[in-house]
Amino acid sequence: MNITRRNFMASVGAVTAASTFPMPSLASGTTIKVGAVQPFSGGLELFGKQAKMGLDLAMAEINAAGGIMGHPVEVLYEDNKTDPKTSVERARKVIQRDGAMAVSGPITSAAKDAMAGTMRRLKTPLFYATNYEGGICDRYLFSFNTVPNQDTAPLIPYLKEIGAGSRYYMFGADYVWPRNMFKAANSMIDTIGGETIAEEYTPFGVKDFSSVIRKIADSGAEILLFALPGADGITFIKQAEEFGLMQKVTVAFLGFAETYLGAFGPGKGEGMYAGLPLIASSEEPGVQEFVSKIRKQEGDDAVVSFYVMTHYNSLMAMKAGMEKAGKVDREALIDGMAGLTFDIPTGKARITEQDHHIAMNMYIGKTADGSLKVEKALGMIEPANQCG
């Protein structure tokens, strides 16, 4: 959940002279280091692995092309253990001890919020490549994934358009991302003349969802807006299948990606919808080339989700931004990336000038035949202004 300023200061302590930690000038050929504070344990390691796949490919491609203005790039991986406090500690380590130019990560909003003050004090950009609830306007934070107006706002009218209905039951994990996503979704549902039947949250680690599944089935809802990530989400969908709920409601699964495919069992988890910045099965040449490169690097069975692409994009933007600035320096990098237009596997992308969020092509996907498929290409969607 969100961490207040008072709680943040109590948990990590005040930062003293480190707040002015300088970025030394790099001699020709000196390595540019990027810290990657990602979850490699603690429950979200699947997402940490997806992030690493994208970062590794970007690093390899940048170095194969001669680095950034002659400087090779090295990614320094740190396990934040899916823990906000550890995230802060690891970020300070890679910046203060290792001299990282920027930090990639984390996954959860709680860890991101905990790290934000440290990144500002150490004047180091944070490349956040996870879809989130929005609301951050900070010189030192760049968002390379979606906010609600990009992934959820198009999904709600689309479901009404195809006849799925407009009566919603919202069910998610009890932390900041689902709560804020549902808050945003409520206004979108109102816009289409829809109705929210109920909004309910669950702690992590629940093993039996039978009571809430019955409640949803009896509620008269036509669409389940679902925000329960990871293993808990898989458990819920499996139990919903057994109960027959999937035949009664359409599931709009926030944050769904290819990482979930196959987890529900053969022929299960079909007909679910999501708004995404990448669908790996897309026939777009850029997407297929990207997926092919990842599988050449990671193996033919590698699962490629949008998390892989958004983390890849973050390093490619760093390269383009630094070359635009013409200087190896943190502040110059930030200025070079603001307003940057660059190529990503799905086409053109643009980093907004003021709030450092990304405009990119978006898609509505649907699970079918054990795969995630493109239902509708939405074109480029600008992120809502987070500084307004």
CATH number of the domain where residue 19 is located:
3.40.50.2300
- The pLDDT assigned to 44 comes to 87
Residues 33 and 92 in one domain: yes
Task: Decide if 387 is inside a domain.
Answer: no
Residues 272 and 298 in one domain: no
- The pLDDT assigned to 203 comes to 94
Tell which residue, 203, 113, 186, has the closest CA to residue 152. Answer: 186
Structure tokens at 312: 């890849």
Residues 139 and 21 in one domain: yes
Res 26 pLDDT > 70: no
Residues 143 and 175 in one domain: no
Residues 37 and 10 in one domain: yes
Contact 261, 253 (CB under 8 A): no
What phi and psi, each to the nearest 5 degrees, are found at residue 356?
Answer: 60, 40
Kind plus residue range of the DSSP H or E element containing 10: helix 5-12
Task: Decide if 141 is inside a domain.
Answer: yes
Residues 161 and 274 in one domain: yes
Residues 200 and 230 in one domain: yes
Res 372 pLDDT > 60: yes
- The pLDDT assigned to 224 comes to 98
Residues 30 and 136 in one domain: yes
Residues 252 and 117 in one domain: no
Query: Using one digit for the tens of pLDDT, what is the confidence trace for 155-212?
Result: 999 999 999 999 999 999 998 899 999 999 999 999 999 999 999 999 989 999 999 9
Structure tokens at 380: 């480029």
- The pLDDT assigned to 28 comes to 59
Provide the whole-model pTM.
Answer: 0.91
Whole-number Å distance between alpha carbons of 99 and 22: 9
Residues 159 and 12 in one domain: no
DSSP secondary structure of 28-94: TTPPEEEEEEE-SSSS-HHHHHHHHHHHHHHHHHHHHTTTBTTB-EEEEEEE-TT-HHHHHHHHHII
Structure tokens at 11: 């948990």
DSSP state of 260: G
Task: Decide if 77 is inside a domain.
Answer: yes
Task: Decide if 85 is inside a domain.
Answer: yes
Q: Residues in the chain, how many?
A: 388
Banded pLDDT at 18 (limits 50, 70, 90): very low
Q: Residue holding tokens 């999937």?
A: 246
Count of domains forming the chain:
2
Task: Decide if 249 is inside a domain.
Answer: yes
Task: Decide if 209 is inside a domain.
Answer: yes
Q: What mean pLDDT is reported for the chain?
A: 92
Kind plus residue range of the DSSP H or E element containing 308: helix 306-325
- The pLDDT assigned to 68 comes to 97
Task: Decide if 386 is inside a domain.
Answer: no
Backbone region of residue 230 per phi and psi (left: phi > 0; alpha: psi in -120 to 50; beta: other values): left
Res 265 pLDDT > 70: yes
Question: Could you tell me whether strands 250-253 and 126-128 are parallel, antiparallel, or unpaired per DSSP bridges?
Answer: unpaired
- Expressed as residue numbers, the domain containing 65 is 5-147+287-361
Query: Using one digit for the tens of pLDDT, what is the confidence trace for 47-74?
Result: 999 999 999 999 999 999 999 999 999 9
Query: Using one digit for the tens of pLDDT, what is the confidence trace for 268-313?
Result: 999 999 999 999 999 999 999 999 999 999 999 999 999 999 999 9
Residues 132 and 210 in one domain: no
On the question of a cis peptide bond just before residue 154, with omega within 30 degrees of 0, the verdict is no
Whole-number Å distance between alpha carbons of 370 and 291: 18
- Name the percent of the chain in helix, strand, coil, to the closest 5: 40, 20, 40
Residues 224 and 328 in one domain: no
Annotate 12-34 with three-state secondary structure: HCCCCHHHHCCCCCCCCCCCEEE
Task: Decide if 123 is inside a domain.
Answer: yes
